[in-house]
Amino acid sequence: MTFEIDLSGRTALVTGGGHGVGRAIAASLAAAGAHVLVNDYFADRAAEVAKEIAAAGGSAEPRPFDVSDYAAVTAALGPGPGVDILVNNAGNAGTQDGNAPVSVGRFAETEPPSWERYFAVNLYGVMYCTRAVLPSMVAAGGGRIITIISEAARVGEPRMAPYAAAKAGAAGFMRAVAREVGTDSITANCVSLGAVDTFGLADSARTDPEMAERLRKTASRYIIRRLGQPEDVSGLVTFLASPLAGWITGQTVPVNGGYSVNQ
C-alpha cells in the first residue's frame, strides 16, 4: 500500500518562497504536482527557487512582489489563472540571518513606529494576499489557505510583543475566514512554528563553538533537542493543501519539537 498526495491541476502561491521554510514548501507542493508561484520580495531568490523546481521536474514560476503593498499584491495576482492554494509564509521576525527573533525591548519602553514592520508583513501581508485570492477560490468552489505563524503567538515571548501580536492576529484572521468560506469548500488553517534553522546554523555550529552553545541553549527548551528544519514543516503544509484535509479548518497546528506540549 502506498500513500500519495496529488495536487495535479492546482496552482499554489507560496509567499516568502525564496528561501528557508517557504522554499521547502514550494518544492514539496511542486513534487505533489502543483504549479507553484514562488513569491519573494527579492526577485532573484524567487527565480532561483523556480529554476530548482523545474530542474527537479516540477512546474513553477517566480512571482516577486512585496506582500505588505496591497497594490503590488493585486497587480501581481491580477488577470490569469486563479490560485487554488495560498501559503502565507512571508514573515519578518528574524535578524539578518533569519533565525534569531528580533527583540524590540520591553513593550513599555517601545513606541508605535517600531511595531509597524511586524504588522505590515505578518498581519497585513496575510490579509492582502488572502483578499486577493479568495474571490477566485469562491468562484471555483474550493481552495486551501495555510498561514505560517509562530509559537510566539500561541504562548508568548518576552520582548517580542509586537511580533507576537501580529502573528496572533493572523491566526484570529484565519479562524474568521474559515467560518466565512467553509460553505464554499475553502479551508483556512495555521501552522505554528518553533525555532526553525532556515539558514543552516546547525552546520555552522560544527565549527563555531559560540554558535554551538547558542543552539544548545535554544534546543534545550524542546522535547526533541534540535532546531526544526524546513522539511519538518513542508510535509504538513502539503497535507493541509490536499484533498485529504478537506474536513480540517479553522485550526492551528504546532510544528515545534514539543516546545509547547502543555498548550
pLDDT tens-place string over residues 220-262: 888 998 889 999 999 999 999 999 999 999 999 999 998 887 6
Options 118, 124, 163, 222, the catalytic residue = 163
Distances from the Cα of 150 to the Cα of 40, 63, 182, angstroms: 19, 25, 24
**Which domains does the chain carry?**
11-200+230-252 (3.40.50.720)
Q: Give the per-residue pLDDT at 102.
A: 56
Cell matching residue 261: 506540549
Is 41 noted as a catalytic residue in this protein? no
Q: What is d(CA 152, CA 168) in angstroms, rounded to the nearest whole number?
A: 8
Question: Which parts of the chain register pLDDT below 70?
Answer: 1, 80, 94-103, 200-208, 211, 262-263
φ, ψ for residue 157 (rounded to 5)? -135, 130
Q: Give the per-residue pLDDT at 263.
A: 55
Residue 128 DSSP code: H
Q: Give the per-residue pLDDT at 99.
A: 44
Each residue's pLDDT tens digit, 174-201: 999 999 999 999 999 999 999 898 876 6
